[in-house]
Structure 1
Amino acid sequence: MSGRTLGEQLADFASGSSYSDLPEAVVESVKMRLLDTLGIAVAAAGLDSSRAARRWAVEQAGAGHASAVGVEDKLPANLAAFVNGVLMHSLDYDDTHLPSVLHPSASVVPAALAAAERAGADGPRLIHAVAVGLEACVRLGMAGYDEESGSSTFFEHGQHATSICGAMGGAVAASVLAGRPDRVVHALGVAASMASGIIEGNRTGGTIKRLHCGWAAHAAVSAGELSDLGITGPPTVLEGRFGFFQAWLHGRFDADAVTKGLGDVWSVPDIFFKPYPANHFTHTIVDATSALRRRGIDPSRIDRLTVGVPAPIVRTIGEPIEVKRSPETGYMAQFSGPYAAAVGLFGGGGLGASLEDYTDELAGDPARRALMQRVDIVADDRCTKIFPHQFPAIVTALLTDGETVVEEVLTNKGGPDRPLSFAALSQKFHSNVDPHLTAEAASAVTGTCRRLEEVAHVSELISPLRAVDLQAAPVPG
């Protein structure tokens, strides 16, 4: 591939491969990610922001080609991708790639699903498109990872790499599904002018972050369709003087992260699934305090709980500590280290914590509030050295009788060191969808994901989710 631009090399990789070239681990990983994100979308269907997204899409709609969760009639593919992307990212339950700390599936999967349904694609084509789209997304995210500082340059610039790189990865997936391999590089060139996202909402509020993956998926499908109609993009869209990396990263990027081992070394199976519906930084806290509970330590025996975490995440889950100890809503609780400790000590559902553990009612529960007042979130040197390849936690409990008990969890459940099986992801899926779907519909989606390589048309996977119960079971926020 000597002499080819970065964008052309990504396009060569995507268009020059097929389902039969994918390693078995990649195929299985993609099927699990499809099941995971669809379940999250169903669980998020009742949110006010989800209703707004659906209403907006329906009001824009023209000829229908693709299915959206909770919308009875088919929508144009880009609008179906928008709705599903909003829902898949709205509960902070979607997967995470480390150390780039971006969430790839919630943009790439809805784009690929909509484009596949529009194209009448079968299961193998969908699997391949999701795989190459995720790989492109993750590699672009890693191009902006600063090894020296251990952080994402996108993040430090206030940019949401999830939606920015997600639009690009989604465009690769959507363009491959259109059956025009010569247009993939143009789809990247078009999508780069549509990719966006700032993360100030993480600091001061607003529901706009929930729309980010919807906009990314919408841009991805639109870019694929526009390039198919003849709109062209620059071949130097990534590394060019006024290209993607200059615009977002001020020209500081790692080109090898984009192309080294492309097609031979796959990042997809190593993307971390989320077992719990909360900020990923809090998950090991849930695990550590769950271990305390299994040792017979209940909240009434705890005089003080010190939670050691990587220094860079204290500001996210531990500051201001007064707010983190008293979350006003279930959504705020998802970003609270003290609340994560309460979840583990009081015991959670699902795989250890479920949506039912993050309601407004439980966020204000007096017993949990009392425990949270005794929780400190501090920087720990051991944890900081491991971050951001994992989000470790070391929990020290000082008991009322003077005894000190320590639990440490240095790797995240759902990652390559502690993987989740298809059966575990099925349990998470059913926990998310059972309040909203009939048992028959839920089982049908699970079964279709399990045998996706045999499915003749992807509508079989997504169309059962157009009819969901939007009034069932509360969700955070």
Structure 2
Amino acid sequence: MTATSTAPPLTVVQQLAQLAHRTRQSGLTADLREDVARRVLDFVGNSIAARDEPSARAVTALVREWGGPAEATAIGTGLRVPAPAAALVNGTLAHSLDFDDTHLPSVLHPSSSVLAAALAVAEAREADGGRLLDAAGVGIEIAVRLGMGGYDRDSGNSEFFERGQHATSICGAVGAAVAAAMLSGCDAELIGHAAGIAASMGAGLLEANRTGGTVKRVHCGWAAHAGVVAAGLARHGLTGPPTVVEGRFGFLHAFCGERANVDAVLTGLGEHWELPGIFFKPYPCNHFTHAGIDAALDLRGRGITADAIAEIELGVPTPVLRTIAEPAAAKARPESGYHAAFSGPYTVAAALLGGDGLGVGHADFTDAAARDETRLRLAARVRCVPDAHCDAIFPQQFPAVLRALLHDGSRHEIRVDANRGGPGNPLTSDELARKFRSNTLTALDDGTAAEVTRAALALAHGGDPKDLMTHTG
């Protein structure tokens, strides 16, 4: 009898690498490429808007010190720097205002890390728009699938988040590495090694959301930097463990313990894409605050003024309270505009009192706005509570209910189950274009803004990434 040998089953990272390799050869479908192109436009606008933030100044100063060859554009700086440095700057910018896209229920902001890495490597490697979008699309998909591996259905929450870990940067480093490796011409084996190397590099703690500090703004930049570096190390012979995702000491078990769900990473891989369902953000603040903003804008639209309100109750999913409601005193009087973006009471007050053409905008999150006593007096009237109906929906959506008691004794209740920007309540193309223009109003004239918009969307139809990046430096 002749013995027959069978190949061992592919590990998780090998299956992810196979998807990346197939896509590098065949390309994404036209609709997925168009989706990623829209995310590129959103990414660039968010990055330009943050060019003067302290986080931007810090990373720009650092990459100036580093020096090196002029490979890629650091957005808003006038600099061309090595690709890993450009990824660091641009990922930091994209996440600095908390205006970046969000995947549910993993609660990841995937584009900031992955697109920062992909754009840097595409520019350095002179890749065309199709290759850029294919690599970025797969990298984003892999990042959110790893995030789904840490989503615990029993608790209805991300185990990464439960442990204080920033899944965005942890999973984003791996997605960024895959995108960078694809654009560097790596085969499936090297793509797998790049992902395995990056799995040792992802990091990020969420304590700054609660009590202050600006380090969270650099998380996506560092993840993008790590991804570019990991792909380079794989090209030069460094290897990652084949069981890096599912192993006993692998990615998911190390970060999420017994609640890790390895199967979620692979379910429907290559057939069902999470990519098109990722939410665009209409407001430049923590996504958990958005439904409360929508409800407050609805209340305002009914002609109810802040002066008429005696008390406000903001009901949200229970896990959300830790981010936007606690510590209560700090959330009622945020220490800066950045911290105001993570406050349920403040954002409700901003929606009732401030706002721009999008509803709530950048002007509502300056340090001066956060110190405005009129807003703070209204924020002090907002009490945040858990809501059972919201718990049942979260985290497929980030719902909220706003209950207002007026001085005349009347009561108003507004529920928002599907916050704006996702499949249940999407932003139109015009709204996305208005968001981009709002982001770039002080940086680009009308003609340049229109050209950047055209160049970003043209990537889906063979456009050159250089045409886009020429106008963003």
Compute the TM-score of the two structures, normalised by the length of structure 1.
0.94
SS of 1:196's partner is coil
Q: Distance in 2 between matches of 1:73 and 1:276?
A: 29
Give the alignment partner of residue 90 of structure 2, picking from 84, 93, 101.
84
Query: Which residue number corresponds to residue 407 of structure 1?
Result: 414
Give the alignment partner of residue 379 of structure 2, picking from 368, 372, 375.
372
Query: Which residue number corresponds to residue 396 of structure 1?
Result: 403
1:451-466 to 2 correspondences below 5 Å: 451-466=458-473
Q: Distance in 1 between matches of 2:424 and 2:407?
A: 35
CA deviation profile, 1:360-398 (whole Å, cap 9, x unmatched) = 222222322222222211111111111111111111111
Q: Distance in 2 between matches of 1:117 and 1:350?
A: 34
Query: Which residue number corresponds to residue 362 of structure 2?
Result: 355
- Rate the CA distance shift 1:121–1:249 in 2: closer, same or farther, 3 A: same
Q: Residue 433 in 1 paired to residue 454 in 2?
A: no
User: Which AA in structure 1 matches 2:362?
Assistant: L
SS of 2:470's partner is helix
Q: Residue 118 in 1 paired to residue 136 in 2?
A: no
CA deviation profile, 1:380-435 (whole Å, cap 9, x unmatched) = 11111111111111111111111111111111100110111222111111101120
Query: Which residue number corresponds to residue 243 of structure 1?
Result: 250
2:455–2:463 Cα contact (<8 Å) kept: no
1:245–1:251 Cα contact (<8 Å) kept: no
Instruction: Compute the displacement of 1:2 (Å).
Output: 7.5
Q: Distance in 1 between matches of 2:233 and 2:289?
A: 41
Instruction: Compute the displacement of 1:127 (Å).
Output: 0.8
Q: Residue 424 in 1 paired to residue 392 in 2?
A: no
CA deviation profile, 1:443-469 (whole Å, cap 9, x unmatched) = 211001121133453121123111xxx
Query: Which residue number corresponds to residue 19 of structure 2?
Result: 13
Greater alpha carbon shift after TM alignment, 147-156 vs 432-441: 432-441
Query: Which residue number corresponds to residue 207 of structure 2?
Result: 200
User: Which AA in structure 1 matches 2:155?
Assistant: S
Q: Distance in 1 between matches of 2:403 and 2:205?
A: 36
1:152-191 to 2 correspondences below 5 Å: 152-182=158-188, 183-191=190-198
Q: Residue 56 in 1 paired to residue 59 in 2?
A: no
1:19–1:124 Cα contact (<8 Å) kept: no
Q: Which runs of 5+ in 2 are unaligned?
A: 1-6
Instruction: Compute the displacement of 1:163 (Å).
Output: 0.6
2:109–2:168 Cα contact (<8 Å) kept: yes
Q: Distance in 2 between matches of 1:3 and 1:251?
A: 23
Q: Distance in 1 between matches of 2:212 and 2:334?
A: 13
Instruction: Compute the displacement of 1:128 (Å).
Output: 0.5
Query: Which residue number corresponds to residue 471 of structure 1?
Result: none
- Rate the CA distance shift 1:7–1:279 in 2: closer, same or farther, 3 A: same
Instruction: Compute the displacement of 1:242 (Å).
Output: 2.6
Q: Which runs of 5+ in 1 are unaligned?
A: 467-477
Query: Which residue number corresponds to residue 33 of structure 1?
Result: 39
CA deviation profile, 1:187-216 (whole Å, cap 9, x unmatched) = 112111222222222222211111111110
SS of 1:451's partner is helix
Query: Which residue number corresponds to residue 145 of structure 2?
Result: 139
Greater alpha carbon shift after TM alignment, 276-285 vs 309-318: 309-318
- Rate the CA distance shift 1:18–1:456 in 2: closer, same or farther, 3 A: same
Instruction: Compute the displacement of 1:251 (Å).
Output: 5.3
Give the alignment partner of residue 112 of structure 2, picking from 106, 117, 142.
106
Give the alignment partner of residue 296 of structure 1, picking from 295, 300, 303.
303
- Rate the CA distance shift 1:19–1:370 in 2: closer, same or farther, 3 A: farther
Q: Distance in 2 between matches of 1:428 and 1:12?
A: 36
1:303-318 to 2 correspondences below 5 Å: 303-318=310-325
Percent of matched pairs sharing the same residue: 50
